[in-house]
Amino acid sequence: MDTAVGLLFVGSGLILMFAFGVLYYIVNKRLREDETKQEWLKEMDEFGQKHPVWTFLYTFLPFPLGSLLQLIGPKTPKFPSSNE
């Protein structure tokens, strides 16, 4: 019984890692298609090179603290809605 539960945890973890990897790939592919998004990505890369500590904290801090650090970095472009 213990090995079955362990295998279930390991298997579900691998499935979740694969699913999140696919979602990450799809989102990054869509981000690189638009010119305004590409400019923002370049600004984020430059910001990351100038301020590596802020970039590290933004990436690895838990939700509320990492979201507050968005106020420091380059502003995200306003993406048009489906109605525009």
Predicted local distance difference test score (pLDDT) of residue 53: 80
Residue 74 has pLDDT above 70, yes or no: no
Q: Contacts for 24-28 with beta carbons within 8 Å, 24 or more apart?
A: none
What is d(CA 55, CA 68) in angstroms, rounded to the nearest whole number?
12
Domain count of the fold of the chain: 2
Cβ atoms of 77 and 36 closer than 8 Å: yes
Note whether 16 and 26 are same-domain residues.
Answer: yes
* Angle, CA of 59, 19 and 82, to the nearest 5°: 75
Answer whether residue 82 is part of any domain: no
pTM: 0.43
Note whether 42 and 59 are same-domain residues.
Answer: yes
Compute the average pLDDT of residues 34-47: 77
Compute the average pLDDT of residues 54-59: 74
Note whether 57 and 23 are same-domain residues.
Answer: no
